[in-house]
Amino acid sequence: MKELEYPFDSGYIMKKKKSLKRRLTEEVTPVLTKRIAVLGGSTTSDIVSVLELFLLNYGIKAEFYECEYAQYRQEALFPSEELLAFKPEIVFLHTGLRNLTFKPTPKMSEADIAEGLENEIAGYKQMWESLKANFGCAVVQNNFELPSFRLLGNSDGSDKRGLVNYVTRLNIRLAEEINAASGVYLNDINYLSAVCGLDVWSDPQYWYLYKYSLNIRFIPDLCFEAAKVIKAICGRNKKVLALDLDNTIWGGIVGDDGAENLTIGQETAEAMAYYQWQEYVRSLKDIGVLLTVCSKNEEENAIAGLEHPEGALRPSDFTLIKANWEPKSENLINTAKELDILPDAIVLADDNPAEREIVRGSGFAAPDMDNVADYIRNIDRSGFFEVVSLSADDLKRTEMYAANMQRKQEQSKFADYDDYLRSLEMFAEIAPFKPMYVQRLAQLAGKSNQFNVTTRRYTVTEMEERMNSDEYITLYGKLVDKYGDNGVVSEVIGKVNGNKLDLELWLMSCRVLKRGMEYAMLDELVKASKEKGIAEIYGYYYPTAKNKMVAELFGELGFEKQSSDDDGNTVWKLEVSAHSESKNTAINVNTEEQ
């Protein structure tokens, strides 16, 4: 919904909360639900109602629990019966400067202040650990905004007795502990309050009158940031930035003006703005965002523009280049097909408002891009690619997809598909979950929709619990071939129930579809089941709008259907002893050649 996209009108959102919710309810079909507890150190009623809007706009229907005023610590450490019954999947700890339990004074020693700081941090760690122990939930944690006054003047930032200095160091320590903890994520109100303007953010009248810790005009900004973190935890991030070319990544029209006359580089203010925008776009590759071109242009002109010596981007930075005269919506749909991703994972950056409007009608995101000086801010603040974890696979995603394109080109040379698979020289590492992969496994479970039989989501904590429990069989699968390392691409979780195994999760990245990886995973699952004395494995398929491709997966793997219902849910069984012949013919599993 346009009203909830950056840059939004906060005043309008606050006034129209109810009508916006009605429209969202009519227009948006949620793809998942989440139980979210908001534990606040200040008033949170409007925060809950606005956060609900942003989450619904991301396709997340939230059920909320809201603690009594300022009871966040008690609820986190000693959950009430209501909170225990609610069983939150995510807890938003909405705290800030006014919830500090310790503040330095000019008469304190450095040792006293250091002790106070560590005690403050310990209090938050204690709350996270309690929430993790009681609920296994993810925690979204605010840091602290700077104070709006400085007792020591400018020295408040340098003197350890100054509150500015203390809060700055407190935020650094909090960030260290969040990074060290699993399943805890930062909501950076220190940055947000600076962006909004500290004086207006901290307007004290809202505290005196209503016990709000911030100016209520910024509640939508606060909720938008929290919602971005939550949707990233839930795997609702975008994956691809598709870029128009003319007047989007350079000034001018390459087909008319010629590549040599494009505005890009360091010579003029406008050229510098386009260059900095190109640098920002290129840096998105480093967090795993795939770059593609979607431009109405001749391809040779597009390549010539991308090879401009003063530009920061090069043709090799793009996983796909669609430069032609087809409608952009069709090019984006074809991009999704060729990358094996869903269309709603693509964002189009285009200076042309008419083109943006057309692709929005086809379900693609297309933020306003009206002034090159604002391009970076518009993409960055929109939070399409919000990072809550950065795995090794994220860092090399562009290379992985480029290798996939090579595989597809190679496939066209073979008449026999099995010959093609064998030519890939594939090796798989399939083993029980390991700590080094837990973040990636939770991330993969959070965002895999198509090859995912149950579409069940897990927090990092829940993944760790299953990894460390004898009640579960867990397997991850990594796949390497002659074109490169695909990383962790598959995972299976089964709960042991006597001599039966109930599969909670079976998913695979669409990057490795039709490679036979599911057969290799089944072979290893059967081996692990035999070692635990499992006689029967039960698979469950729960249909969604996106996972139809695996409706018959278990049947293809040799399971027998046991039941089905009117909603399309099916139950399948495999007699472990009946699985004797592997269908994996092309992947070498757990060999030293990896």
Gyration radius (Cα) of the chain, Å: 26
Is residue 219 within 8 A of residue 14, CB to CB? The reply is yes
- In tens, the pLDDT along 33-50 reads 999 999 999 999 999 999
Give how far the C-alpha of residue 266 lies from the chain's centroid of Cα atoms, to the nearest Å: 35
Report whether 242 contacts 349 (CB < 8 A): yes
| Per-residue exposure over 2-14, b if at least 16 CB sit within 10 Å of its own CB, e if not | eebbbebebeebb
* Backbone conformation region of residue 152, classed left if phi is above 0, alpha if psi is from -120 to 50, else beta: alpha
Alpha-carbon distance of 591 to 527, in angstroms, equals 16
**Where does the pLDDT of residue 591 fall: very low under 50, low under 70, confident under 90, or very high at 90 and above?**
low
pLDDT (tens digit, 9 = 90+) per residue, 177-194?
Answer: 999 998 999 999 999 999
What's the whole-number mean pLDDT along residues 315-328?
A: 94
Supply the pLDDT for residue 392.
Answer: 75
397, pLDDT greater than 90: no
The DSSP letter of residue 542 is: -
> In this predicted model, what pLDDT tens digit does every residue of 477-535 receive, in sequence order?
999 988 888 889 999 999 999 999 999 999 998 878 888 999 999 999 999 999 999 99
Torsion, Cα 242 246 250 255, to 10 degrees, reads 130
In the prediction, which pLDDT does 459 show?
85
Q: pLDDT tens-digit profile of 419-456?
A: 888 888 999 999 999 998 998 899 889 888 889 999 99
Closest CA to 96 of 175, 165, 173, 41: 41
How would you label 83-102 residue by residue, b for 16+ Cβ within 10 Å and e otherwise? beebebbbbbbbbbbbbbeb
pLDDT at site 592: 52
* CB contact burial 553-570 (16+ within 10 A = b; e otherwise): bbeebbbeeeeeeeeeeb
Neighbours of 18 (CB within 10 A): 10
pLDDT value of residue 260: 94
**Arithmetic mean of pLDDT, 292-302:** 95
| C-alpha torsion sign, points 174, 180, 184, 186 | positive
Task: Say if CB 254 and CB 264 are below 8 A apart.
Answer: no
The 3-class SS string of 237-283 reads: CCCEEEECCECCCEECCHHHHCHHHCECCCCCHHHHHHHHHHHHHHH
The residue whose two tokens read 């089941």 is: 529
User: What is the pLDDT, as a whole number, of residue 594?
Assistant: 45
Q: Which two tokens stand for residue 419?
A: 């010959």
Q: How confident is the model at residue 123 (pLDDT cuts 50, 70, 90)?
A: very high
d(C-alpha 420, C-alpha 430), whole Å: 22
The Cα 290–Cα 339 span in angstroms is: 10
Q: Is the pLDDT of residue 230 over 90?
A: yes
Confidence of residue 147 (pLDDT cuts 50, 70, 90): very high
Distances (CA, A) of 133 to 71, 129, 138, 562: 19, 6, 11, 36
Distance in angstroms (rounded) separating the CA atoms of residues 570 and 564: 4
Residue 340 pLDDT greater than 90, yes or no: no
Segment 29-35 mean pLDDT? 88
For residue 197, is it left (φ>0), alpha (ψ between -120 and 50) or beta? Answer: left
pLDDT for 563 equals 96
Residues paired with residue 572 on neighbouring β-strands, in sequence order: 539, 561
Element spanning 432, H or E: none
Residue 341: the pLDDT is 87
Contact 240, 335 (CB under 8 A): yes
Confidence of residue 99 (pLDDT cuts 50, 70, 90): very high
Residue 436: CB atoms within 10 Å: 10
Q: Which residues contact 224 (CB under 8 A, 6 or more apart)?
A: 4, 6, 8, 54, 383
Distance CA 132, CA 138 (A): 8
Q: Contact at 8 Å (CB) between 198 and 163?
A: no
Tokens of 238: 């975008």
Q: Mean pLDDT, to the nearest integer, of 125-149?
A: 96
Alpha-carbon distance 152 to 158, whole Å?
A: 9
CA nearest to 131, candidates 60, 181, 203: 181
Look at residue 274 in the predicted model and tell me its pLDDT: 97
Please say whether the beta carbons of 275 and 264 come within 8 A: yes
Confirm if 467 and 432 have CB atoms less than 8 A apart: yes
Q: Which long-range contacts (CB under 8 A, 24 or more apart) does 172-180 make?
A: 173/117, 173/118, 173/121, 174/121, 174/124, 174/141, 174/143, 174/144, 175/143, 177/121, 177/124, 177/125, 178/141
User: Residues 6 or more apart from 269 whose CB is under 8 A from it?
Assistant: none
| Helix, strand, or coil (residue 498) | coil
Q: Which residues pair with 35 in a beta bridge?
A: 63
**Which residue is associated with the tokens 């006359």?**
261
Q: How many residues does the chain have?
A: 594
